[in-house]
């Protein structure tokens, strides 16, 4: 870490204010060029303390920037992790309130729900064995940075742009589907916006979980049983506007739909 605890707290204030009051900020590294990825995660941890103090609940984690399409779109070359809160969840076929968002984009992702704790260096096989089910999900990301422009320390401090998520379709036993070849189509107002296959996520979405578990282990933490984990957008993220109807279709897993109101 390069920043002291006081500065981490000031940066958490800034990000929290932007998240709560739906306004943009300039990237944190403009003022603190020495800010590291570790500092970004320290801001995330400070935000979690604040969210839980006001009654929110950590339900799981997200891996972001796990596909080449996403890395190229955002100009980075390593994944980032974030926290998923109970307050981010929205029901399938419902409406997501646009006035609480700045410039949202959607990502079609395969989500895992664990049945056993995962800790340390784990293999894809160990992730699969510890998985209760996999389920189609759409993440709504909404960077608090101007024009969605940031670097890794800044985006990590903003909880990896996480804002909302919707699950749907059919939960599947991970052994009954080939998790590398799930085809995905994202439609907006009936028109295809992006197509992809799940191997785009690190060759196998379970790899994103293994990387997350290693990330947690490096900080003395584990991924508990019952965690909900989103493994990252399979395609590039798609910008959305008020009134848009969204459907993400997942081969053999059903679809997730909702609208922006
Ligand atoms: O979930 C993601 O892949 C996004 C991670 C943060 C970067 C972004 O806002 O695109
Ligand atoms: Mg995502």
Express each pLDDT in 194-234 by its tens digit.
Answer: 999 999 999 999 999 999 999 999 999 999 999 999 999 99
In angstroms, what CA-CA distances link 174 with 28, 116, 178?
39, 14, 8
Q: Looking at the predicted structure, is the pLDDT value of residue 168 above 90?
A: yes
| pLDDT of amino acid 20 | 97
From 36-50, 62-76, 237-251, the region with the lowest mean pLDDT? 62-76
Q: 3-class SS at 28? A: helix
| pLDDT of amino acid 66 | 93
Q: Where are the domains of the chain?
A: 57-260
Q: Which atom of ligand 1 is nearest to the CA of 237?
A: 10
Q: How many CB atoms lie within 10 A of CB 23?
A: 11
| pLDDT of amino acid 38 | 97
Burial class (CB in 10 A: 0-12, 13-18, 19+), 99: exposed
Q: Looking at the predicted structure, is the pLDDT value of residue 135 above 80?
A: yes
Mean pLDDT of 13-37: 98
Does residue 40 line the site of ligand 1, with CB under 6 A? no
Global pTM value: 0.96
| pLDDT of amino acid 75 | 83
Chain-wide mean pLDDT for the chain?
A: 97
Mean pLDDT of 50-78: 92
Q: Which atom of ligand 1 is nearest to the CA of 143?
A: 9
Distance from the CA of 8 to the center of ligand 2, in angstroms?
Answer: 24
Distance from the CA of 29 to the center of ligand 1, in angstroms?
Answer: 17
101-132 residue pLDDT tens: 999 999 999 999 999 999 999 999 999 999 99
Distance from the CA of 197 to the center of ligand 1, in angstroms?
Answer: 18
Mean pLDDT of 237-245: 98
Report the CATH fold assignment for 57-260.
Fumarylacetoacetate hydrolase; domain 2 (3.90.850)
């Amino acid at each position: 870490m390069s920043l002291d605890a006081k500065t981490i707290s000031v940066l958490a204030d800034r990000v929290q204010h932007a998240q709560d009051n739906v306004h943009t900020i300039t990237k944190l590294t403009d003022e603190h060029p020495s800010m590291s990825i570790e500092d970004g995660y320290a801001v995330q941890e400070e935000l979690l303390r604040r969210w839980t103090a006001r009654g929110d609940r950590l339900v799981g984690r997200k891996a972001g920037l796990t596909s080449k399409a996403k890395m190229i779109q955002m100009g980075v070359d390593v994944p980032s992790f974030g926290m998923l809160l109970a307050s981010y969840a929205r029901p399938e076929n419902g409406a997501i309130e646009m006035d609480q968002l700045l410039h949202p984009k959607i990502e079609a992702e395969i989500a895992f729900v664990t049945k056993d704790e995962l800790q340390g260096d784990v293999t894809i096989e160990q992730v699969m064995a510890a998985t209760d089910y996999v389920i189609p999900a759409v993440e709504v990301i909404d960077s608090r940075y101007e024009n969605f422009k940031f670097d890794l320390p800044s985006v990590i401090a903003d909880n990896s742009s996480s804002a909302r998520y919707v699950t749907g379709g059919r939960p599947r036993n991970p052994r009954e589907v080939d998790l590398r070849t799930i085809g995905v189509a994202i439609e907006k107002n009936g028109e295809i916006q992006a197509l992809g296959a799940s191997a785009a996520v690190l060759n196998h979405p379970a790899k994103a979980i293994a990387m997350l578990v290693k990330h947690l282990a490096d900080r003395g933490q584990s991924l508990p049983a019952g965690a909900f984990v989103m493994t990252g957008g399979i395609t590039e993220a798609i910008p959305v506007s008020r009134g848009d109807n969204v459907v993400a279709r997942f081969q053999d897993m059903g679809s997730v739909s909702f609208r922006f109101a």
